[in-house]
């Protein structure tokens, strides 16, 4: 019996180690750590919005998101109708005047508001995402930029915009509160 004790102990240690590895592998990924930063753009005809940053260690690439409501600026009947409208209103031009659409945009729903999303190349080495969603006659303009792959940047931006705190702020901002 005494000879088998080290073997039994080793088996329990191995099982415990495997359980720990399995638990780590099965755990959901750590949520990205976004922090609010100062609005980086000069004043224009619209109020400043809110700006956020996520570092590469959390988001896989450095990503910044800029969002602001443009109350009374949307077509009350059709909302955000096409990619040309996203190009005009999503504030990507504030990041860089040289933005080139990567492809046609897609329909998107952010904070229960319908609209469109489109990806852009900026200056040949950065990615931008433009989002325009509407509620009644109001528009929420979102521009984002990142140093990573367009699909990764877009995924991080949409996950951030889908967070409870940002969704709550967007809904309140669109209701003028």
DSSP characters for 75-121?
A: -TTTSS-SHHHHHHHSSHHHH-S-EEE-S--EEEEETTEEEEEEEEE
Q: What percent of the chain has pLDDT over 90?
A: 66
Distance linking the first and last C-alpha atoms of the chain: 74
Q: How confident is the model at residue 6 (pLDDT cuts 50, 70, 90)?
A: low
Model confidence pLDDT, tens digit, residues 152-177: 999 999 999 999 999 999 999 998 75
Q: Give the helix/strand (H/E) hosting 1.
A: none
As a whole number, mean pLDDT of residues 117-121 equals 97
Sketch out the chain's domains with CATH numbers: 34-174 (3.40.1000)
Model confidence pLDDT, tens digit, residues 18-38: 444 444 444 444 567 999 999
The per-residue pLDDT for 25 is 47
Res 68 pLDDT > 50: yes
Both tokens of 45, joined, read 């005809």
Distance, CA of 128 to CA of 86 (rounded, Å): 12
Helical H runs in 27-163? 56-59, 83-89, 92-95, 150-161
Angle at 94 between CA 83 and CA 137, to 5 degrees: 50
Q: How confident is the model at residue 115 (pLDDT cuts 50, 70, 90)?
A: very high
The per-residue pLDDT for 75 is 78
Res 57 pLDDT > 80: yes
């Amino acid at each position: 019996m005494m000879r088998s004790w080290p073997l039994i102990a080793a088996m329990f240690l191995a099982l415990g180690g495997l359980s720990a590895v399995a638990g780590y592998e099965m755990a959901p990924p750590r949520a990205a750590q976004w922090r609010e930063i100062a609005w980086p753009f000069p004043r224009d005809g619209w109020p400043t919005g809110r700006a956020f940053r996520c570092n590469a260690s959390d988001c896989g690439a450095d990503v910044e998101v800029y969002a602001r409501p443009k109350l009374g600026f949307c077509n009350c009947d059709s909302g955000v109708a096409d990619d040309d409208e996203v190009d005009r209103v999503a504030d990507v031009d504030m990041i860089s005047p040289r933005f080139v659409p990567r492809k046609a945009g897609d329909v998107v729903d952010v904070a229960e508001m319908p609209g469109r999303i489109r990806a852009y190349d900026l200056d040949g080495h950065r990615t931008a995402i433009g989002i325009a969603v509407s509620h009644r006659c109001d528009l929420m303009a979102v521009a984002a930029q990142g140093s990573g792959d367009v699909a990764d940047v877009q995924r991080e931006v949409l996950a951030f915009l889908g967070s409870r705190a940002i969704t709550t702020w967007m809904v309140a901002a669109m209701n003028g509160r």
